[in-house]
Amino acid sequence: MQGSACCQRPPHPANAGAVIKVFILLLFCRHADSQCKILRCNSQYLAATENLDDSDATGARCDALRAYSSCTRRTARTCRGNLAYHSAVYGIEDLMIQNNCSREGPTSLPQPPQPPPDHQGFTSLDICDYEKSFARKHGRPPAYQHCAAFGDPHVRTFRDQFHTCQVEGSWPLLDNNYLYVQATSSPVVKGSNATAISKLTVIFKNMKECIDEKVYQAEIDNLPVSFVDGSMNGGARPGGSSLVIYERTPGRHVEIRAAHVGTTIAVRQAGRQLSFSIRAAEEVALSFTDEQDLQLCVGGCPPSQRISRSKVDGSGALEKARLLCKEKLPVEDVYFQACVFDVATSGDASFILAARGALEDGEAYHPDVKKLHIFHTDRAMRPCSSPLLIFTSVILVCRMHFYW
């Protein structure tokens, strides 16, 4: 009896909204080619259906599904072979059957209801200013955390751990209730052991009072100053201006400010590689479940993927790399160590700019300048931090602490 009940479809599509949202969110997490606009179709459908009432849900949802289907047909040529696209096509077909939608009919997306006038001035907009809301609630400014990923690749975690990773393919940097960030690493040159970030995907999740769900994608030689739907802010909601993209250096440096979650993100390109830096409110950075435990910004690289920065072949290449990195990174901290490792192993001087950019982002985003510079031997995973050069005795203490 229980088995047959599991196979029955609900008599009324009241729960369809939740199923649809889960389905679309799964699609957002899939790989999407830069020319394939399926994410835009997904965003439009979500925005059109999230506020539907039960009284008019079926008709309006059918209109939205037909528009969704039309959108996928328009992008079919550039999405051929894309998993997210084909999943959407099959998903739309199933949803139209569940909702008894005909293929003929209106295809205009229903407009989301406009919010009533705010007679209390800017109170509603303050909800979309995390710092103001937090200070009003707690009587103090929020705490912040910093994470960065750059080079071959190196990760500085929210807890100021510093790892060099042997990763290729896609890995989540962040996965919490407000943000999803995924980095894709590829060989610097074909056949090389050196890898670097070649693609970044940032998803700002829907926040009812403030923003529509927004997706930002950057690839080598393509740092857009807009989200994948063409917009430059969080949408038409009252707090839409709380999420804004700025171009700091054309084609080389983009900054995304998300005031609604107290977060600032920098995406840079140096040579043939991307880098990522973030300053996030601590409450936001830690808003995840046990199922979301694989986040490089939180736990760093998995132990099996960590590599030693001391394994560099050739003393000549190492000394040359040290001289080159010293020009841009005079303090011999982990940024300097990462630079030397990358340049010595790849021979690519653009890694110097990547390390320098990561340091500059750290200077701007780290909440405690005294902890910006990390000094430790390569094997020590627990850093010693100081605003000045660390004396040899302190390094030895750290090493003893690690082995203890």
Beta strands (DSSP E) in 205-346 are: 214-219, 243-249, 253-258, 263-270, 273-281
Query: For residue 383, what are the β-bridge partners?
Result: none
Q: Which of 306, 329, 345 is the last residue of a domain?
A: 306
Distance (Å) of CA 182 to CA 73, 170, 200, 230, 361:
27, 7, 6, 20, 19
Alpha helices in 10-154 (DSSP H): 16-28, 38-49, 57-74, 83-98, 123-126, 130-138
Total domains in the chain come to 2
- Residue 57 has what pLDDT? 65
Residue 170 domain flag: yes
H/E stretch holding 380: none
**Among the listed residues 178, 187, 381, 375, the one whose alpha carbon sits nearest the alpha carbon of residue 295:** 178
CB atoms within 10 A of CB 215: 18
- Residue 72 shares a structural domain with residue 197: no
d(CA 400, CA 278): 32
Q: What is the CATH number of the domain that holds 152?
A: 3.40.1000.10
**Among the listed residues 62, 60, 88, 61, the one whose alpha carbon sits nearest the alpha carbon of residue 73:** 88
- Residue 192 shares a structural domain with residue 263: yes
**pLDDT 10s digit of each residue in the chain, 404 long?**
444 333 343 444 444 554 555 455 445 544 444 567 788 788 788 877 776 765 556 788 888 888 888 888 888 877 877 878 888 888 888 888 888 888 877 765 544 444 444 434 344 457 999 999 999 999 999 999 999 999 999 999 999 999 998 878 899 999 999 999 999 999 877 766 778 999 999 999 999 889 999 999 999 999 999 999 999 999 989 899 999 999 999 999 999 999 999 999 999 999 999 999 999 999 999 999 888 878 999 999 988 888 888 766 667 889 999 999 999 999 999 999 999 999 998 899 999 999 999 999 999 999 999 999 999 654 433 344 443 333 333 333 333 333 33
Residue 108 domain flag: no
Q: Which of 263, 285, 306 is the last residue of a domain?
A: 306
- Residue 159 shares a structural domain with residue 68: no
Residue 247 domain flag: yes
- Residue 62 shares a structural domain with residue 173: no
Contact residues for 388 (Cβ-Cβ < 8 A; gap 6+): 373
Residue 230 domain flag: yes
**Among the listed residues 25, 28, 16, the one whose alpha carbon sits nearest the alpha carbon of residue 62:** 16
Residue 144 domain flag: yes
Residue 46 domain flag: yes
Range of the domain at 83: 37-99
d(CA 175, CA 362): 21
- Residue 160 shares a structural domain with residue 243: yes
- Residue 23 has what pLDDT? 52
- Residue 164 shares a structural domain with residue 296: yes
- Residue 207 shares a structural domain with residue 289: yes
CA 359 to chain centre: 19
- Residue 123 has what pLDDT? 46
**Among the listed residues 229, 234, 233, 240, the one whose alpha carbon sits nearest the alpha carbon of residue 42:** 229
Quick check: 130 and 262 in contact, CB under 8 A? yes
Strand 243-249 relative to strand 384-385, pairing: unpaired
Residue 323 domain flag: no
Contact residues for 306 (Cβ-Cβ < 8 A; gap 6+): 163, 164, 165, 166, 300
- Residue 73 has what pLDDT? 85
d(CA 92, CA 98): 10
CA angle, 93 then 96 then 99, to 5°:
150
Q: Which of 83, 99, 115 is the last residue of a domain?
A: 99
- Residue 188 shares a structural domain with residue 42: no
Contact residues for 327 (Cβ-Cβ < 8 A; gap 6+): 352
- Residue 166 shares a structural domain with residue 86: no
- Residue 95 shares a structural domain with residue 195: no
For residue 216, which phi and psi values (nearest 5 degrees)?
Answer: -115, 135
- Residue 64 shares a structural domain with residue 150: no
Residue 337 domain flag: no
- Whether the model clears a pTM of 0.85, i.e. scores above it, the answer is no
- Residue 295 shares a structural domain with residue 147: yes
Distance (Å) of CA 288 to CA 32, 78, 205, 291:
24, 35, 13, 8
